[in-house]
Structure 1
Amino acid sequence: MSLLAELKDMLGGTERHAVRHYEDLLASLLVMAWMVEARDPYTGGHLWRVSRYAHLLATESGLGPADAARIAVGGFLHDLGKISVPDHILGKKDRLTEDEYAVIKTHPDVGWRMLAGHPLARLVEAAIRAHHETPDGRGYPRGLRGKDVPLDGRIVGICDAFDAMTSTRPYRRGMSIGQALHIIEENLDRQFDREFGERFLALGRAGQLGHIVGHSDEGIPLRECMMCGPTLVVRRDHHAGDRIYCHSCTGEYALEERQGQLTAVPTGRMGTAQQLEPEVDEALIAQVVRASASALLAG
C-alpha cells in the first residue's frame, strides 16, 4: 500500500484531504526550522540552500524522486536543534572554547528530541542526527564511521559544510566556490564521504551550484548590508518601497527598483523591535512543501 493510500485509510477521507494533511505536517516542521534559523542573522537562506544542494546531489547520485525529496526536507530541518544553543555562542565572532563547542555538539540530538512524537519524525531522523558524523569517526554526536553514517547524513553533511564555507560570517567573508570545493576534495574519506563528495565536486566544477550560492530563494540573491555584508533577505512578495532590515546591526533598507532589480538602499534608520521580529516566508515554505509532498507521496 502506498503512503497516500495509507493516509486515506487512516484519515477516512478523500485523496485531496490526505494530501492536504501531509502538507500541513510538513509545513509545521519547516516553519519551526525557519524560526530557529531566524535567531542567527548571518544564516539567512541557509536552510533553503542546504535543501537545494541536497536535492541536487541526491538526484545527481541516481536516487529516486522520493528519496531526493526526503533528503531535501532533511536538509531544511538539519539545524533544528540549534534552538537550544545560547545566543552568545551561536553569534560568537571569535573561536569557540571547548565548553562552547561541546554545547554546539548537542544540537543534532536536541533536534531529534524536539521531533519526538511528530508523525514525520522518522522521515528526517538521519539528516538531523547524522549531518555532523564523518567517515573517519571523529564526527558527532555518536562518532559513527564510514558507511555506518546514514546516507542522508552523508549528503546533508557535505551540503551544510559547503554552504558554511561559501557564506559570510561575522568573522570572515564567504569563500569562493573553488576554495570550498578544494577543501572538500582535500578531506574526502575524513570529513566527507568520497562517493557523494566526488559527485558534489563534479557539480561544482560544472557550474551547477552558482545559482544557489549566496541566494535565499530561486533567483533571489542576498542583498548587502553596508555594515555586515550579505545578510539582507528579499522575499518574492517584496516590492519597491518596502523596507527590509539587517538582523545583525538592525539597519533599515528601502527597496528600490533599478534596471528591473530590487536594490537595497540604506535609510540611515534602525529597525524597531517590532520591525525586527522574525517573519516566516510563507510563499517559499509553501513551494517547498508542495514539491516535497508530491514526490514523497508518489514514492
Structure 2
Amino acid sequence: MVFDPSVKLNSGNSIPVLGLGVYLTPKDVADSIVQKALDLGYRHVDTATYYKNEQDVADAIGAWLKKNPTVKREEIFYTTKVFDTDHGYEATKKLIATSLEKAKAIDYIDLFLVHSPQSDYEKRHGTWLALQEAVESGKVKNIGVSNYGIKHLKELLAYPDLKIKPAVNQIELHPWLSREELVKYLKDEGIAVEAYSPLARGQRINDPALEEFAKKYGKTNAQILIAWSLAKGFIPLPKTVTVSRLRTNLESLNFKLSDEDIKKLDSLDEYGVTGWDPTVYPLDNEKIGGK
C-alpha cells in the first residue's frame, strides 16, 4: 500500500511530501535500502552527485519498476544535485549529461537542484541557464536550489534571462532550526520547502521535549520530528539505512500534532545548525561571514 501523498510544485508537477534521503549511503547499501523503501510505499528518493551513489539509486529504482510493472515511472520522484565544483554553464551542462547517463535506467530526472550557492554570480548564473535548458530538453522535469538564503534567491530571481523559477529550496530544518524568515520568503514566492536533516542528525533525538510528545502520542521521537516538519508544510527527507526505521518514518504521515504542540516545538528554535550552513554564504560584494 502506498501512503505517500503529493503536493503541487510551481512547475505544475507533483512531488511526494515525504522522501528518503541517501546522503553518503554506501553503494552496496543504496540498492537494497531504496528497493525496500519503494516496497514500503516511498515514492521519493533524494540523492546528489556529491553523495557518490546516483547510479546505484537510479539503478535500484529501475530494477524495482521492472519487478513492479503496475507502478509507472511517473509515480517515482528522483532528485539529484549540482555540487559547487561543477558550477558554471559548461561545467553544469557536462554534469547534467553525466547524471542523465547514470539515470538511464529511469529515463529522466524529476528534480535537479543547485546544491549550494558557494561559488560566484557568473557561475551560479551559468548553472541556472544550463538547468533551464535541461528542462527545455524534457530530460529534467523540475529545477531548484538547496542551501540558498534570501539574498541568493533574490539574486536568482533577478536574472535577466530567468525563464523558470526554482520549484524547491532544500534546507536544513527541524524544531531547533526553523528559519522562519527564510521559510516565509519561500512560501510567499511559491517555492516549495524541502527539509533535510529533519531529525537533526540524531543530535537531539533524546531531547526531553521529544520524549514528552512521543509518550503523549504513542510515537517515536523521530516520528514526532517528521510530523512537525509535515505540519509546517515542509517536505522532509529523513535518511536511514535501517529497514525498521524506513517503516516508522513513513508512518509519520498517519497522525498529526495539535496546534498547541506544534507551537511548543517551535519554541525550541535556537538556530541550531547541525552540519554546514551555506545559506549565509556571501554574495560577491560581501565579506566572508556577511549576512
TM-score, reference length from structure 2: 0.34
Greater Rg over alpha carbons, structure: 1
Higher helix proportion = 1
